[in-house]
Amino acid sequence: MCVYKIAKYLLFAFNFCFWLAGAATLGVAIWVLVDDDISDVVEVADISIYTGSYVLIVAGAVMLIVGFAGCCGAIKESTCLLGLYTVCLFAIFALEVGAAIWAFLEFNTLQEGIDQALNETTTKTNINNDDSYQTFQQNFKCCGTTTLCGGFDPSALYVNCECTDSDKSVCGVPSKAQLDDCPNYTTTQKIYLTPCNDALYDFVDDNMLLLAGVALGIGLAELLGMVIAMCLCCKIKDKGVVA
């Protein structure tokens, strides 16, 4: 009986945290949609931050529903709610596994995808007229697209690539070797020396382990939640209290 109560309240605590996370996710997504200042956030490759907000709204709503079902199922000892909770959690877990497999298979094409996306973005609007992309260059300490001179109006290159960083590998006057793909566009000003496709790819690559660790932790927590929920269901049925 003691183990049963521990499992019951552990499941409640887990799902209350899950519910709070869903509420926070939903709140952040709505804030992004209604805050006018977010319009200054970088948009790259035609992927708007607002698109991500709609995804977060759906995710937050699902988390609220699943968390609510788990909390109520644990406290009320309802096999119906616990069953719904387990099914929802399994569906989420299956989607995460599928997404992980897809990401693993597609990871090698990431560089190609980034190159194509940046080129498409600057083809529609060159960097000279794109304040968001210029902000992106400053944030990622990069310049151009797949080359240092890529994406600019030929009459005015390296717009907002100027830098004062003391690290010579990041900021400086580009050498002839660094401008191999831009032989007619030399410059004597100090600019960021990394093309933006390489900077973006390195950012994703550097954070891949962190993302994998977070995903693993979430997956294990979901498995634990499913196991506890199923054990509670069995215990409730053994007691003869089925709701």
Q: In this structure, is the dihedral angle defined by the CA atoms of residues 193, 127, 132 and 200, taken in order, positive or negative?
A: negative
The helices-and-strands tally (H runs, E runs) of the chain is 7, 2
The residue that leads in pLDDT, 44 or 226, is 226
Cβ atoms of residues 160 and 126 within 8 Å = no
- Helix H or strand E segment including 192: strand 191-192
Average pLDDT for residues 177-191, to the nearest whole number? 83
Instruction: Give SS3 for 69.
Output: helix
Which residues face 162 on adjacent strands? Answer: 191
Q: Which pLDDT score, from 0 to 100, does residue 192 have?
A: 94
Tokens describing residue 55: 């995804």
Element (H, E) at 172: strand 171-172
pLDDT average, residue stretch 36-43: 51
- Residue 42, pLDDT score: 44
pTM, two decimals, is 0.57
